[in-house]
Amino acid sequence: MHPPSGAPTSPLFSIRQTPHSGRAVFATQDIPPDTLLWRASDLTLAVLLREYRREVCGHCFSYEHGRDLSTRDRSIGFSFCNDTCAAAWRHSAGEIGIQAWTAVEKLVKHRSKEDDEMVYPDQARPKPAAIATAWDTVGAQASLIRVAREGERDQEPNVPNAAGVKVTKQHRRAVQKALLNPLRPDSLAFFVSGLLWHYNRPHEWSHLTALAPDPTPYHSFADLAAFTQTYLHLLCVLPLPLLALCAPDTLVALSRHDGHNSFGIRSLEDDGAEFFGYGCWPGASYFNHSCAPNVGKRRVGREWEFRSCGMVGRGEELCISYLSGEERGWSKGRRMGVLRRNWGFESLHASLLIQ
């Protein structure tokens, strides 16, 4: 099979279609223990949960046992372990990225913490038709906000813009109304991070869209509504060059392709007990899950390393564990529950699910 866009390539393995678990990685030769199979440095989008933004470096994700980091940039709302990381972050965000994070930080800073919660009681996940309807429902308000924002480009107030549309009270009211809705800072960060990556590296968008999609990426109807509201919030504040990209197609694609492919960003000590956020590295997303994995994964700063654990024979499927620290010790039933909920499969790979 032709390697999917952005997929890893190596003389050690190839990617093949399987009958029941999508594409998977197979050893093309005998591999000795502890062989470096792949290093993924292709971070696309990353969310550092707001509650950890003072303690976890916004660039390399290092963490000093809960101590506040020394370099804090209040305007963008991130902290860094040193000036080098701060400079690297600014370089990869670019000028428009810095403007975008500054605008979002300004919006979030003075709002109460109550909007921050992401609680997903065991509710039905919205199906694709309901998802399409929810995004259509905010379409009219989004159009009004766009006109109001595009008005900022025009030199003369109250004069029709290049498209012949005059900004009126109705447009400005749509902005005010959107800004009154509760904010979800981590959803704002998810979209901003993804949009900036798309803006800064347009030729790599297909690396994300090549990943196995999750057709029902929203945990509940409340979650879906929060994302559509987040879209409106962003339309109100993002720098103008990002407005064209900030559209339902792009935002839904981010959720659909991140859903089953992101990796938790966890503390490196204490077996990852602290969950700081998550990110998507497309090159790392072709390994399937096994509860008895033959590949170990380790985060090294902004990269992931994948190494064989034990001898792997030619033709064997290379699998990692999707479960984190304590989950690995759970009963088979509980592990299957997590895999079903978070990754959408019933483990047809039963042979790989140890009892």
Binding site for ligand SAM (CB under 6 A): 21-24, 211-212, 260-261, 285-286, 288-289, 343-345, 347-349, 352
Whichever of 61 and 286 has its CB closer to ligand SAM, that residue is 286
For the bound state, the minimum distance from the C-beta of residue 216 to ligand SAM, rounded and expressed in Å, comes to 12
Whichever of 24 and 48 has its CB closer to ligand SAM, that residue is 24
For the bound state, the minimum distance from the C-beta of residue 165 to ligand SAM, rounded and expressed in Å, comes to 43
Q: Which helix (H) or strand (E) holds 215?
A: none
For the bound state, the minimum distance from the C-beta of residue 344 to ligand SAM, rounded and expressed in Å, comes to 5
Whichever of 12 and 352 has its CB closer to ligand SAM, that residue is 352
DSSP 284: G
**Strand residues in the chain grouped as ranges (E):** 13-17, 23-27, 36-40, 46-48, 71-73, 78-80, 263-266, 275-279, 288-289, 295-300, 303-308, 317-320
For the bound state, the minimum distance from the C-beta of residue 348 to ligand SAM, rounded and expressed in Å, comes to 5
Pair type for strands 317-320 and 288-289: parallel
Q: Which residue is nearest to ligand SAM (CB)?
A: 22
Whichever of 21 and 92 has its CB closer to ligand SAM, that residue is 21
Type of residue at 109:
K
Whichever of 18 and 28 has its CB closer to ligand SAM, that residue is 18
For residue 53, give Cα distances in angstroms to 50, 57, 120, 153, 266: 5, 7, 23, 33, 13
For the bound state, the minimum distance from the C-beta of residue 52 to ligand SAM, rounded and expressed in Å, comes to 24
**Both tokens assigned to 52:** 């950890």
Neighbours of 297 (CB within 10 A): 18
